[in-house]
Structure 1
Amino acid sequence: MDFTEVYRQTGNLVYFSPGAHFILNAAEDTLVVRRTDTLQVTRTWSIGPPSETVVITSHSKSHGTATSNSQWISQAGWSCDSEYILAASSRRGVVHVFKLRDEDWNARIETGAEGLVKAEWAPDGRHILCFSEWGLRVTIWSLLTASATYIQFPIHPDRGYAFRADARYFVLAERHKSKDTMGIYDTSSNYRLVRHFPSPTTNLSSLALSPSGNYLAVWESILEYKLHILSLAGDVQGTFTPTPDPGFGIRHAAWHPTGMFIAVGGWDDKIHILDSLTWSAASTLELSSRIPNGVVLWREPADWLESTQGRGFISYERLRGPQSVSICRVDLTKPNQRSGAVQLEWNKTGTLLLVRFENVPTLVHIYDFPTPSEPFVPRLRCVLQHQKPVLSARWNPVRKGNLAICCGTQSVYTWSDEWEGEGGEEEDMAECIGVPTNMKYETRDIRWAPDGKGLALMDKDTFCCAFEVEDDVIS
């Protein structure tokens, strides 16, 4: 793995373009675009004070007072075709839009008195969603017509909406007259309302749309462990509550890539796998201090960073046979307890499920899932144990069994099931990889390139990239 130099960034706003040819980052009030093959700067833009010319503007006027860092970029992102880039400044309530191949073209959206919490691209790359403060409305701005569509009273700007996989429909959780409701909007008809129906939730926490777009999962807040499965017509297909009721709600739910299952995790260290036929638990995975025989425990070697001076590649210690790990048991009757599934994530093919439990922060659990032709018996495949708590773990978006992990150290950790053993069979491999830099560097977050061949590694105020080394072909 080859590493680049370290570059400055703010807000962890570092993104590869959809084609993986460019990488974008924000540094205070400046956007920088680099080529991924050379890391040479291709474009830079600075979002200064508003100018006299406004391409897109809201009817209301901003009246805020600028602070020292009010100009800083709070959100950034690529359009789906890499043609446009947005840079939002939430404190100023302004979204700037730039065109990669035309440095002189730009647009600006002023959200006005309702403020701005979040701005992001719609899947078509020609509309921008702007969520206002206090849940007042979400505004969909069109770059093609310079017009806006308003939808009132969204519940959550971060986890209360979804687009269907084909981007045809936009699903939004709303609150009208103190009741949870769901709105279905047709994106091909300027976000025209198609259906509006009440949600069975009393205090909706989040939602997740199935990959097929046929089903919508909605669940209650922390006080109630209840998940409902709805059709897009609003009919309740099923409701799940475990027995006995753990007393706390759901933390995460993740659809299987086929839509045949949904994994549900709460605060009780159990993962329930619901099937799409009965919407009941077909299997339950539970955190245990005992790692059974046949499951590999990969343990990070002690002091390996010091011995390699942060510039080496070293394998995890591979421990077989029954092993034990320490679990911090918590009292759920007390507030602010660290427990439950903090992350649930399927790999690309749905054959592996990654789980991180908050009361064992140094561990990553990987579960094996059978193919449709095999008996449905999920099992724990391996556990990766680290010296420090895991901060981020992400599957490769292209390869089925390739995982990257970071723990706030000068390193990145990888696990893969694609290594070829001595007998020609595939086997697992886990490695600790130091980030070669002379400065203090703590990898706090990671982000894959869309082609799965590179990583962006982010510290608090800096980032670097790591790319796979391709073997030379000798003819």
Structure 2
Amino acid sequence: MNFSEVFKLSNQLCRFSPKGKYLASCVQYRLVIRDVGTLQILQLYTCLDQIQHVEWSSDSMFILCAMYKRGMVQVWSLEQPDWHCKIDEGSAGLVSSCWSPDGRHILNTTEFHLRITLWSLSAKSVSYIKFPKACQKGTAFTKDGRHMALAERRDCKDYISIFVCNDWRLLRYKVLLYSLDGRLLSSYSAYEWSLGIKSVVWSPSSQFLAVGSYDEKVRILNHVTWKPIKELSHSATISNPKTVVYQEVDKCQTAVPSQLTFPPHRGAPSSLFAVHSKYELAVLPVSLRTIKPDADRANPELGIGMLAFSPDNRYLATKNDNMPYCVWIWDIQKMRLSVVLEQTSAVRSFHWDPVQPRLAICTGNSRVYLWSPSGCVSVHVPVEGNFSVLSLSWHPLGEDSLLLLSKDHLCLCYLEAEEER
């Protein structure tokens, strides 16, 4: 495992291009475009103010930089460096900006969610969508990019409207969950409780819908009946011998024979895998660390806050906010708990390799953690100073590389092919 040099960064604004050829990073008001293979600077753009959001178009030909404080978006072209576009929302303000799937339309949401403005780069036209609901993620696109679902708030009621993306006409809107032709598929409630559902994710095959709830359970719904086929409970005590529990051990503790990791990589310093931290195979039963949620807080740390399916549809990774130090990995084929990883620090995020069932985890310290069906490993980021990994992402095409982001810096982690046992 190798690491690149460290580069300056602002607000963790760093993104791979969709095709994985470029890496965009922001430093205050500057946008830096690098070649992923060499990390050499290809383009350097200067924006009118500090960048607060950056996003690639789907074809990697354009990149937008949003400056919410100024209500402005600037768009840059990779093929024509001299071309640029400036969009100013004026007094309406700006709270979010994103590309449409075709990479030629920009959707800007104005302050107070008064409207969504649709800017066309190709037709140089503008149109509007009224009544967007003020929520964390109010829009979603189909995989083929033909339709957009929009959460709306009309007359004190919530609606889901379906738009056709080629001309942005309203196809149909209905309440609850509907198919694109307007048929009501189903309505589902995990249980009678006002807090309800906390997280939702589709499986890559679209056969399953995983629903995380505040009662610390995940319900797996199938796409035929839209009924739950399995409830996955997150118990504080693991005693099933079919479940493997790995516990992270810091460098002050002594290694034991039961330690299980990936096979060492050729040419990699052994200290990366042995000195800083390691995983030990726990002896069952195991009591996992839990926290008591503060019931007086508006949004208590309670329930299933993170869900992610592996690309082969085989595994589901979850995080129960009541047990912030643990990552749960479920075998979806067998519908049972397969592995629990217990960290020494609270888990901040995890992401699956887009090509193979390999999970990367970060906890806000100077390490990156990897799990695959063959085992798990903890790796220290060997850079000067303290590099706290706050978020991470895989190369869009896999290609054995990870982007690691700290508060003010970025670096790339290159993984070697796993050796045969």
Tell me if TM exceeds 0.5.
Answer: yes
Q: Distance in 2 between matches of 1:268 and 1:297?
A: 23
In the alignment, the residues of structure 2 paired with residue 193 and residue 403 of structure 1 have an alpha-carbon distance, to the nearest angstrom, of 39
1:58 — aligned with what? none
Question: Where in structure 1 are there 5+ consecutive unaligned residues?
Answer: 49-70, 201-228, 371-376, 418-427
In the TM superposition, what is the alpha-carbon distance from 1:246 to its structure 2 partner? 4.2
Report if the CA contact (8 A) 1:75-1:88 is conserved: yes
Aligned to 1:290: 237
What is the rounded CA distance, in whole Å, between the counterparts of 1:416 and 1:304 in structure 2?
Answer: 26
Q: Residue in 2 aligned with 1:395? A: 352
1:29-40 alignment, distance < 5 Å: 29-40=29-40
Q: Percent identity?
A: 33
User: Which residue matches 2:208?
Assistant: 261
Match of 2:396 among 447, 450, 459: 450
Shift of 1:320: 4.9
Contact 1:172–1:183 under 8 Å retained in 2: yes
**In structure 2, C-alpha distance between the alignment counterparts of 1:270 and 1:471, rounded to whole Å:** 34
The separation in 2 between residues aligned to 1:270 and 1:285, in whole angstroms, is 5
Cα distance in 2 for partners of 1:383, 1:263 equals: 18
Please name the residue that 2:332 is paired with: 369
**Residue 224 of structure 1 aligns with which residue?**
none
Distance 1:311 1:149, change over 3 A: farther
| Alpha-carbon displacement from aligned partner over 1:119-145 (angstroms, at most 9, x marks no partner) | 111111111111111111111211101
Aligned to 1:270: 217
What's the Cα RMSD here? 2.4
Q: Provide, for residues 388-417 of structure 1, a one-character-per-residue CA deviation record: whole Å limited to 9, x for no partner.
A: 001110111111x10100111111000012
Could you say what secondary structure the match of 1:312 adopts? helix
Letter in 2 for 1:467: Y
**Residue correspondence of structure 1 range 94-109 to structure 2 within 5 A:** 94-109=72-87
Aligned partner of 1:436 in structure 2 is 382
Hey, what does 1:51 align to over in structure 2? none
Residues 76 and 85, structure 2, Cα contact 8 Å, conserved in 1:
yes
Cα drift, residue 117 of structure 1: 0.7
Q: In structure 1, what is the equivalent of residue 54 of structure 2?
A: 76
In the alignment, is the contact (CA less than 8 A) between 1:310 and 1:434 conserved in 2?
A: no
Which of 326, 343, 350 matches 1:386? 343
Q: Which of 309, 313, 330 does residue 273 from structure 2 map onto?
A: 313
Q: In structure 2, how many angstroms separate the alpha carbons of the residues matched to 1:331 and 1:441?
A: 31
Structure 1-normalised TM-score? 0.80
1:181-200 CA distances to partner (integer Å, 9 max, x unpaired)? 22221112x21222233x24
Task: Report the residue type matching 2:54 in the other structure.
Answer: A
Higher relative contact order (CA 8 A, sep 6+): 2
1:200-239 correspondence runs (5 A): 200=176, 229-239=177-187
Q: Which whole-Å CA distance do the structure 2 matches of 1:158 and 1:327 have between them?
A: 27
Quote the offset at 1:80 in angstroms.
1.3
Cα shift at 1:155: 0.5
Q: Are the equivalent residues in 2 in contact too, given 1:311–1:435 (CA < 8 A)? A: no
Aligned equivalents of 1:333, 1:230: Cα separation in 2: 36
Matches of 1:440 and 1:390 in 2, distance apart? 18
1:147 to 112, 125, 148: 125
Cα distance in structure 1, aligned partners of 2:21 and 2:252: 34
Which residue, out of 338, 342, 346, partners 2:301? 338
1:103 alignment partner, SS class: coil
